[in-house]
Amino acid sequence: MARDYDITRCKLVIWDLDETFWRGNISETEVSFNPEVLEFIQELVLKGIMNSVCSKNDFQTVKDFFINNGLKNIWDLFIFPSISWAPKGERVKEIIRKMNLREENVIFVDDNISNINEVKFYCPKIMTAEAFQIPKLIEELYLVNDYDFEYTRLKQYKVLENKALEKEALNLSNDDFLRSSEIKIAIKCDCVKQTERILKLINRTNQLNFTKNRVDENTLKGYFSNPDKYDCAYIPVRDKFGSYGICGFYVLNKECNKLEQFLFSCRVMNMGIEQFVYSYLNKPKLEIKGEVSSSLDFEPDWIEIVPDIETEIVNKKPEIGVNILLKGPCDLYSTLGYIDTDVNIDTEFPYWNKKPVYILAHTHTAFIEQTHKFSREKLNELSKQFPFPDSDEFKTKFFDKKYNIIFLSLLTTAHSGIYQNKTDGSYAFFGYADCDITDENNWEKILAPLPEEAKKLNLMMLNQFKKEYVFCGNPPVETVLENLKYIRENLSPNTSLVLILGGEIPCSRIQAGYENMAQRHKVLNQAVRKFASSYDNIDFIELTGLIHSEDDYGDCINHFSRQVYYSLAGEITTKANFILGGNFLALKEEKIF
């Protein structure tokens, strides 16, 4: 079965139970829970991804089974569970409707391909996975770089669930039910403190995003800093069932009376919020982009504006036997959605761990080398010396002999600061390659962003670090070649190593740490090409050939347009098929740009 899911696009997982969520059939045999799956759904909720159930069983029997096994806490994580003997297709469609989600943001998991095909008939855009693919889903959850430690989204969906149950019990018309729901909103203009939440809302919302103007943090703050031109507000919502949190945002250009941002969360779909706010703003100009799941042509009379609302609520198929690893920063991550394949693709990309610390150093060639060179005990010792490296930086499958091909991006290696211990040769990773933190002349700049009470402790750490480590250079050509030599000699001879070389065309958009990066790439790439020429099982892909204009760059030289990522996916597909000697990967036909 071809891969039919992308965990990074998922907002809901709908589970079959028998031989999927647990082992066995509850109506026929003894059943046992899979501890990994129990942990997984808790991890999903922690990442803001909801869980539901669509099972052919007796509802009370299933609920009692969870509770009698001491797992009421797990049962309570499910939203709108659908457990009956009716066919699954329409039931899955109804779960998605009740949660106001889009099919393409849902993964349905079942062990029976007939059930999957039936659900696909009713929900053509839904993502699906067979039960044997659950370990892969678990493995790839780290790609979701989002945390909801307070279970805010779960609480919000529980409000939605309770509301739906009461509506069903009262048997009222939709308008009468809304009038009885005591819906209240606040129009809040203090947007700066909610920048992170608003940014997520803009870039994640689709169904009720009328303008679809995706923006970065700097653009968003540009709206906030110009009140003479822009009227900006976020909109928290609550009703008698509970709070929904921040569910809307708008930016009104006062000079031309036009909405540049106008969007709402799907959690408040069919409540009349977007129509009410549009009317409240006296229906300014609005250029609607793409499809939206709502019309603005009526004015609800059941919503009240209040001064404030609390914003927080609180049968396995035979395997092909081909294995590929993609390791590197976002250049490789962004290609996955364009590649279609039946083979196993593992990934090791940057992510936020639970602490939370941003785990990035593990994509640097020096770190890859030392994960193999040193014992686990030694690596644990290294992670206790300073706040860096974190122990998660040493988790890798890189030297697993199962891989036919490893695609390794050198973008992190080219721009990141790397330091070598004077005693044991181990590496530490900090900041950028153009700022040596063992140089006292740079300390004022390094310490400047810190509060006064933290500077003394960090100065002590910098002094200690200077005594123990030496800067590896800029760019670290000799270090990189030594790392690559060690890596190549310790990989399986049957593993082809394909290196992604950074772009050599200058980019006018400069971020701190990315200055002169084109020249640094040029120097490093030249050395790597020469190095690779002496090996039969090292190849490379040049990003430079995929960049045709300034428009191909994002916010810096290491971030690109969708066209470049699509082209890179094509290069990976072509290179992999050539190495493997067959058509194992395919480039998806639809272009999303």
The CATH number of whichever domain residue 181 belongs to comes to 3.40.630
Residue 316 confidence (pLDDT): 41
* Domain assignment of residue 577, given as a range: 323-432+474-587
What is the number of domains present in the chain?
Answer: 3
Whole-number average pLDDT of the chain = 90
88-98 and 152-170 helices, crossing angle to 10°: 110
Question: Are 278 and 243 contained in the same domain?
Answer: yes
Last residue of a domain, one of 114, 149, 184: 149
Question: Are 208 and 346 contained in the same domain?
Answer: no
Question: Are 288 and 331 contained in the same domain?
Answer: no
Q: Is 394 helix (H, G, I), strand (E, B) or coil?
A: helix
pTM: 0.66
Amino acid at 138: I
Question: Are 359 and 489 contained in the same domain?
Answer: yes
Helix or strand run (H / E) with residue 257: none
Taking CA atoms, 141 is separated from 147, 393, 407, in Å, by: 12, 17, 20
Question: Are 391 and 515 contained in the same domain?
Answer: yes
- Least confident range from 74-83, 93-102, 162-171, 461-470: namely 162-171
Here the tokens at position 201 are 């809302």
Is residue 592 a part of any domain in this protein? no
Question: Are 233 and 379 contained in the same domain?
Answer: no
The answer, yes or no, to whether residue 94 has pLDDT greater than 90, is yes
Question: Each residue of 381-423: pLDDT tens digit?
Answer: 888 877 788 888 998 999 999 999 999 999 999 988 999 999 9
Here the tokens at position 388 are 């860096």
Question: Are 379 and 297 contained in the same domain?
Answer: no
Contact 262/210 with Cβ under 8 angstroms? yes
For residue 147, the 8-state DSSP code is -
Is residue 221 a part of any domain in this protein? yes
Residue 2 confidence (pLDDT): 63
CA of residue 78 relative to chain centroid, distance: 22
Contact 47/148 with Cβ under 8 angstroms? yes
Question: Each residue of 251-262: pLDDT tens digit?
Answer: 999 999 999 999
For the segment 445-458, the average pLDDT, to the nearest whole number, is 87
Is residue 465 a part of any domain in this protein? no
Here the tokens at position 477 are 């050509």
Contact 370/351 with Cβ under 8 angstroms? no
Ranges assigned E (strand) in 200-343 = 230-239, 242-253, 258-264, 303-305, 323-327, 339-341
Question: Each residue of 214-262: pLDDT tens digit?
Answer: 999 999 999 999 999 999 999 999 988 878 889 999 999 999 999 999 9
Question: Each residue of 17-67: pLDDT tens digit?
Answer: 999 999 998 977 788 999 999 999 999 999 999 999 999 999 999 999 999
Question: Are 207 and 341 contained in the same domain?
Answer: no
